[in-house]
Structure 1
Amino acid sequence: MIDFPKVLMIIGGILLVVGFFLQFIGKLPGDIVFKKGNTTVFFPIVTCIVVSIILSFVFSFFGRFK
């Protein structure tokens, strides 16, 4: 059985890293923002591409250990 405190520490570390990188979401060049009056429409095109590439590398890396 896996030690529960160790699992909690790993999950906490992962959440810390993810939270750090989420600060930059929406600030990449290429993300489209329309503001008119009280309405704001946000299209994070470049952010979605970057997240997709990163997740592809992560999943392919962990897929090799199967």
Structure 2
Amino acid sequence: MNQNLGKYLIIGGLILIVVGSLVYFLCDKLNWLGKLPGDIRYENGNTKIYFPVATMILLSLLLNLVLYLIKRFF
């Protein structure tokens, strides 16, 4: 096995721990996440459909930035 794979797994695990901790401790401050203008929400009686388009674009941009920085410095 390649030693770089182990390094990437450790870095990925640390990133997951940091993001999980932020979400756990800041959940009351992140209530805007999922309610961005551009998220599609449809409610009719018992039917609820939710497409978080803007939220997924924002998370995708942030994840790409993090991966770019990791790739550049490691």
- Let me know the Cα RMSD of the aligned residues: 2.7
Task: Tell me the SS of whatever aligns to 1:64.
Answer: helix
- 1:46 aligned onto 2:54: yes
Deviations 1:4-39 (A, max 9, x none): xxx98xx2x431213437533311111010000011
Change (3 A) 1:43 1:14: closer
For structure 2, list consecutive stretches of 5 or more residues without a partner in the other structure. 1-12
Specify whether residues 46 and 14 from structure 1 end up closer, same or farther in structure 2 by C-alpha distance, changes over 3 A only: closer
Gaps of 5+ in 1: 1-6
Q: Return the offset for 1:62.
A: 0.5
Aligned to 2:19: 14
- TM-score normalised by L of structure 2: 0.62
Aligned residues with identical type, % of pairs: 40
What TM-score results when the alignment is normalised by the length of structure 1? 0.69
Name 2:36's counterpart in structure 1.
Answer: 28
1:41 CA drift (Å): 0.2
